[in-house]
Amino acid sequence: MLCSKLLPNSSVAPLRRHLKTVHPECKDKNQDLFVRKKEQLLESQKTMMHVTQTINENATEASYLVSYRIAQAGEVHTIAEDLIKPCVLDITKCMLDEKSAKHVSTVPLSNDTVSRRIHDLASYVKQELVTRLQKARFVLQIDESTEVAGLAILLVIVRYPYENSFEEDMLMCSPLPTNTTGEEFFNKINIFFEEKIISVGTIALTFVQMGPRR
């Protein structure tokens, strides 16, 4: 409590010797002094833990924001650690100082971290969309198209009211076998609705656009 020296607690003799040699001004003090010192130490530790927690929370939030932009741009995940982070550190050192750059360096942006962040964000967005559809009537636009490699793709776009406007989101993007029939086509969508507990009774209208198979 007076210094960072660690002493064994098996006997008071080492403590008395330490006080006498290192802190002679405190050797005759009563217990109240040490109680106050202990309280000050605990308060200091509490403050340090709060500051550390805040820094960690901010670093995590920054990591998610960077990962979100990487996903939006369709860039490889390694760009965060290989390019973005070094650039941000350079800018911070030039515009602010080394201390600020040290804080910025705590933002986790490894390849694995960015991948996890993007997965977390995608899961959250998907669950949020499902939650909205469970509470509203909506319109489906179903499109069957073929990508460059010849793979048939089922695309399902959903339009629904949310707050004071209408939103449009992609609900499904799923590969299809080349011999998919119309019945299998709609069964695939129905299975998705059952898994997500979305009532087909809330579908107000459905548009189907069937693309040519290659």
What are the pLDDT digits (tens) for 145-162? 777 677 788 889 999 999
What's the CA gap between 191 and 193, in Å, rounded?
Answer: 5
Query: For 106-124, what is each residue's pLDDT tens digit?
Result: 999 999 999 999 999 999 9
pLDDT exceeding 90 applies to what percent of the chain?
Answer: 43
Judge whether residue 214 has pLDDT over 60: no
What's the CA gap between 141 and 137, in Å, rounded?
Answer: 14
Query: For 25-37, what is each residue's pLDDT tens digit?
Result: 665 666 666 666 6
Question: 168 vs 31, 109, 124, 131, 158, CA distance in Å?
Answer: 69, 31, 17, 14, 6
What's the CA gap between 110 and 81, in Å, rounded?
Answer: 5
The pTM is what?
0.65
Query: From the CB of residue 28, how many other CB atoms can be counted at a distance below 10 Å?
Result: 8
Q: What phi and psi, each to the nearest 5 degrees, are found at residue 117?
A: -60, -45
**How far is C-alpha 23 from the chain's CA centre?**
49
Hey, what are 186's tokens? 């709609």
Query: For 66-98, what is each residue's pLDDT tens digit?
Result: 999 999 999 999 999 999 999 999 999 999 999
What is the C-alpha radius of gyration for the chain, rounded to an integer number of angstroms?
Answer: 30
CA torsion angle 184 186 188 189 (round to 10)? 180
Residue length, the chain? 214
